[in-house]
Amino acid sequence: MDAIERFERYLEHLADGLGHSDRHSGLRGYCTGLMLPLARKSVEPMAARVDPLHASARHQSLHHFVAKAQWSDAEMLRRVCQWVVPKMDFSRGGWWIIDDTGFPKKGKHSVGVARQYCGMLGKQDNCQVAVSVSLACDQGSIPVAWQLYLPEEWATDAGRKARAGVPEDVEFATKPQIALQQLRALLADGAPHHCVLADAGYGVDTAFRQALSDMGLTYAVGVTSAVVVWAPGVEPLPPVPYSGTGRPPVMPRRTPELQPMSVKALAMSLPERAFQTITWREGTNAPLSGRFAALRVRHAGGNAGKARLRPLQWLLIEWPKDQAEPCKYILSTLPEDTPIADLVRATYQRWRIERDYQDLKQDFGLGHYEGRGWRGCHHHATLSTAAYGFLMAERLVVDKPVGGKKNFIERQMPAFPEDYIPRGSPARAAPRGDIDHEPAPSAELPVDRPSRSVPLLWKGAPKATLVTQ
């Protein structure tokens, strides 16, 4: 069976979760368009490439499929997982990778758009931000949950939410809170308890780390140099003895001489022999390695941290030899007997989500959706993930990148007709003398019918696809 035949079977597998057979054509056309080597993966150029002789009609049908049709993102992502997860090898462990990614936008009407930090640009700008959870093994990874982050200015504006079709039950939540909601949904659906990886944007949140522990999940998350810990062998004094009245004291005591210290100060105080060179994987041109130290510490920062003595956990420090100070700090609840090489290997699994984002944006049009509504944004992210899922499954089977990526579909596609003019092209513009200079009457934006939020759930999936070995 060649790649084209496997892709057809994959689409049939996904289509069984759409509910109505009249949506199958939309799924096939949209996923095929996402797999093609187009510069822009928005609806209009995909429609023109998939069906150039009927581009206008296909544009309308694809737009309805992604922006209006009420099929389930959760079910679609579940079916993607059913196809991809059995091909993943978890014999050396698995990981949940949490991160967010931005999509630069102009204007102010696209759902969730605001001036905020955009990782793609490396600065604050007008953009949308989506939080995701990926499931990873040594050989690959696949996003399994998506949700747009709504800034407070959006979440508290009922009219703005209604115009963008945001479900009424979607309220303001921080990015760590969204990620926790996604993980709880995954675990409730029978997903395995893998180690959670995240950068310092999530790791500095004490409540986030505690929630992971409360769910029975280990973690290896980045923190900033200012995070405060009790150094090895140093602990606060016990609480004041109970007097017999009122609530028993629980807060550990500190003295001017007995204080926690920042992880940076702790790292700078370590002798040279505390660091060792660790290689975590083979790179394209050379082994990837760095200088690391690992210590057992107790977190001591924040009001919650002062209320009780926290358990010991790992502090992993990376300090390149050619730099004046450490560059990374990781807090981890992996077992006490975990070798430092395994700590490093687990920490650097997080790079896979950057690969996911890169491929999804560059090759599968993740950031190319031009609609404004909540449903369309989530549908488009789901379908981009579905297209990416097929390529990831192919890579996992052969244990190497698939050559040519999407181009295996290209030979099946008809060429553009010679007289085809893209919608919005200057060639379609009216002659100057025919332009109506009177202002058009204002009109309200169409309101999408409210839909449910779209966390990924594996409810109803065969248990065999969820069990990792």
pLDDT at 203 exceeding the cut of 50: yes
- Give pLDDT tens digits for 268-303: 999 999 999 999 887 767 788 899 999 999 999 765
| Least confident segment among 149-153, 232-236, 254-258, 419-423 | 419-423
pLDDT for the residue numbered 421 = 57
Can you say whether residue 232 is alpha, beta or left, with left for phi > 0 and alpha for psi between -120 and 50 degrees?
beta
310-331: average pLDDT? 95
* pLDDT at residue number 441: 39
Rounded CA separation 403/282 (Å): 20
Q: Report whether pLDDT(119) > 90.
A: no
pLDDT at position 21 over 60: yes
Q: How far is CA 371 from CA 131, 358, 362, in A?
A: 19, 22, 19
Q: CB–CB of 396/389 below 8 Å?
A: no
Exposure on the CB side of residue 28, measured as CA atoms within 13 A? 14
d(CA 236, CA 255): 8
Whether the per-residue pLDDT at 236 is higher than 80: the answer is yes
Q: Is the pLDDT of residue 419 over 70?
A: no
Question: Residue 442: which pLDDT band, with cuts at 50, 70 and 90?
Answer: very low
- Is the pLDDT at 109 greater than 80? The verdict is yes
103 vs 366: CA distance, rounded Å? 9
- Integer Cα distance of 133 and 147 in angstroms: 9
Domain ranges of the chain: 3-200+353-418+446-465, 219-231+258-332
Q: Over the stretch 76-97, which tens digit does the pLDDT of each residue have?
A: 999 999 999 999 999 999 999 9
Compute the mean pLDDT over every residue in the chain, rounded to the nearest whole number.
85
Does this model's pTM top 0.95?
no
Using CA atoms, how far apart are residues 352 and 102, in angstroms rounded to an integer? 17
Checking if the pLDDT of 53 tops 50, the result is yes
In terms of average pLDDT, the best of 240-249, 300-309, 438-447, 450-459 is: 240-249
pLDDT > 90? residue 308:
no
More confident residue, 18 or 457: 18
**Confidence category of residue 360, pLDDT binned at 50, 70, 90:** very high
3 phi and psi, to 5 degrees? -65, -35
SS3 string, the chain, reads CCHHHHHHHHHHHHHCCCCCHHHHHHHHHHHHHHHCCCCCCCHHHHHHHHCHHHHHHHHHHHHHHHHCCCCCHHHHHHHHHHHHHHHCCCCCCCEEEEEEEEEECCCCCCCCCEEEEECCCCEEEEEEEEEEEEEECCCCEEEEEEEECCCHHHHCCHHHHHHCCCCCCCCCCCHHHHHHHHHHHHHHCCCCCCEEEECHHHHCCHHHHHHHHHCCCCEEEEECCCCEEECCCCCCECCCCCCCCCCCCCCCECCCCCCCEEHHHHHHCCCHHHCEEEEEEECCCCEEEEEEEEEEEEECCHHHHHHCCCCCEEEEEECCCCCCCCCEEEEECCCCCCCHHHHHHHHHHHHHHHHHHHHHHHHHCCCCCCCCCHHHHHHHHHHHHHHHHHHHHHHHHHCCCCCCHHHHCHHHCCCCCCCCCCCCCHHHCCCHHHCCCCCCCCCCCCCCCCCCCCCCCCCCCCHHHCCCC
Lowest mean pLDDT of 144-148, 149-153, 195-199, 443-447, name the range. Answer: 443-447
